[in-house]
Amino acid sequence: MSPHPDRAPSDGPSPVPALRRRAGSILIAVLAVIMLLSFLITRFMEEAVEDLEYRALFNEPVDLRTFAHSMLEVALAVVHEVALIEDGKLYAPEQGWGDPIDYAGLPVPNGWTVAVEVRDEGGKLPINTMNESALNRLLEETLDFDFGTARALGSVLLDWIDPNEERRLNGAESEEYLDRDPPYRAANGPLQSLEELRLLEVWEDEFFDEEGRPNELFERLDDLVSVVHAGPVNLNSAPAAVLESLSEGQPWDPEYIFDGLDEPYLKELPASIDQQTAGTELRLLRVTVSVRRGEIPYTVSALVEPRISEESASGGSPGGRPAEEDQVRTGSREEQDAIRFPFKILQVTEYGVGRETAAPGRYSAVDIDPESF
């Protein structure tokens, strides 16, 4: 049969499939390059965002930091004003100082989030100043240690805190700690933080796990004691567990001491309670201000000791000097002391985040909801 008259004779294979294969290979290569570039760009953006977020923590806008410190001053001003209304006395946040922003009626800038916490640090037992009897009672009666373990814990802690190197029975001094790897000496001074207990014999086994992390018993201890407070416990802010510990062997019941009050807090200490260990006034205050604008956070926390009197509201204050003293100040120490600022600033930290503290035990005793204030 002769070839089709309209079809030219073929001299070899058609070039079309080869061109298609070549075009397909080029397309795959282009797609691969695009995918690689997309991956690199995405990776670069993720790292850039992480870097910006990290830098934002330490290079926050100046106005954010300034605003946070301004809110700290507002909180202290509110505490000062409320105390002056109460003859210089601070008892509990129900007086009005618990929510400084609401009390002052300050507007929060649009797009900003502000939280101010004013907390009494005197509601816990002062572990650095507790005597041996009180410490043993806390360990035995409240934390349920047996007699021997409680005595060992107490002796080790007191050896760590006292200024000498005289070892108590069942205690430990630098001689024991210098045999460790790495070696270190006993502090011979007060605990700076509760986590420092991981360095002490016996305590390291009872209050920390094998990795040195605080265990559940440590959390219970943290609700009971403070390393920054050294005076009588303010019963108005003491958690229920602290009230129970204070009342062990004493002629008063923490469930009834808040009954029949005109205010939801104690102003006078009942005669049955030892004034050396308990009180009704706030003597150590922590103010924490947390500010966030968008995704940028900033936190400042100040530990302050109120020194409020009628004089702090008059002639000695920065804005109320007598006319004869109205002159340019050079900022000398004597002149700064003469200002009589109503608070002693003990510590200021930034970016600090602490554990949520237990609610005062008196709320359950008098059926008060702390969230309502």
Which CATH number is 209's domain given? Answer: 1.10.40.60
Q: Does residue 161 lie in a domain region?
A: yes
| 30 assigned to some structural domain | no
Q: Is the pTM of this model over 0.85?
A: no
pLDDT tens digits along 148-195: 999 999 999 999 999 999 999 999 999 999 999 999 999 999 999 999
Q: Check pLDDT > 50 for residue 351.
A: yes
In a domain, 261, yes or no: no
Same-domain status, 144 and 109: no
Does residue 50 lie in a domain region?
A: no
Last residue of a domain, one of 166, 196, 228: 228
Based on the fold, state whether residues 145 and 212 are members of the same structural domain. Answer: yes
pLDDT in tens, 53-66: 666 555 555 678 88
Is the same domain home to 82 and 104?
Answer: yes
Question: Which of 256, 280, 255 lies closest to 267, judged by CA?
Answer: 280
pLDDT of 335: 66
Rounded to 5°, angle at Cα 46 from 43 and 52: 140
List pLDDT tens digits, range 240-293: 999 999 998 889 999 899 988 888 999 999 999 988 899 999 999 999 999 988
| pLDDT given for residue 373 in this prediction | 47
107 and 135 both lie in a single domain: no
Which residues lie closer than 8 Å to 131 by C-beta, 6 or more apart? none
The pLDDT of 322-339, averaged and rounded, is 58
369 has a pLDDT exceeding 90: no
Residue bearing the bigger pLDDT, 44 or 91: 91
Identify the CA nearest to 194 among candidates 278, 284, 126, 120.
126
89 plus 133 within the same structural domain: no
pLDDT at 18: 65
* Domain assignment present for 23: no
In this prediction, residue 320 has a pLDDT band, given cuts at 50, 70 and 90, of: very low
Residues 110 and 161 in one domain: no
pLDDT in tens, 81-112: 999 998 899 999 999 999 999 999 988 888 88
Residues 85 and 133 occupy one common structural domain: no
The pLDDT assigned to 249 comes to 83
Residue 312 within a domain: yes
> How would residue 319 be classed by pLDDT, with cut points 50, 70 and 90?
very low
* pLDDT confidence band for 115 (50 / 70 / 90): very high
The Cα–Cα gap between 282 and 120 comes to: 6
Same domain membership, residue 170 and residue 117: no
Residue 129 lies in a domain: yes
pLDDT band with cut points at 50, 70 and 90 for residue 317: very low
Q: What is the pLDDT of residue 27?
A: 78
pLDDT of residue 255: 86
Q: Which domain holds residue 152?
A: 125-228
Asked if 129 and 192 sit in the same domain, the reply is yes
Question: Residues 315, 322: contact at Cβ < 8 Å?
Answer: yes
In whole angstroms, give the CA distance from residue 255 to residue 269: 15
Q: Is residue 8 situated within a structural domain?
A: no
Assign 3-class secondary structure to the chain. CCCCCCCCCCCCCCCHHHHHHHHHHHHHHHHHHHHHHHHHHHHHHHHHHHHHHHHHHHCCCHHHHHHHHHHHHHHHHHHHHHHHHCCCCCCCHHHCCCCHHHHHCCCCCCCEEEEEEEEECCCCEECCCCCHHHHHHHHHHHCCCCHHHHHHHHHHHHHHHCCCCCCCCCCCCHHHHCCCCCCCCCCCCCCCCHHHHHHCCCHHHHCECCCCCECHHHHHHHHHEECCCCCCEECCCCEHHHHHHHHCCCCCCCCCCCCCCCCCCCCCCCCCCCCCCEECCCCCEEEEEEEEECCEEEEEEEEEEECCCHHHHCCCCCCCCCHHHCCCCCCCHHHHHHCCCCEEEEEEEECCCCCCCCCECHHHHHCCCHHHC
Same domain flag for 117 and 153: no
Same domain as 198, residue 130? yes
Please give the sequence-ordered ranges of beta strands (E in DSSP) within 146-213, or none if there are none.
none
Q: Tell which phi-psi region holds residue 284, choosing left (phi > 0), alpha (psi between -120 and 50) or beta.
A: beta
For the chain, the domain total comes to 2
159 in the same domain as 111: no
Measured distance CA(345)–CA(300) in Å, rounded = 13
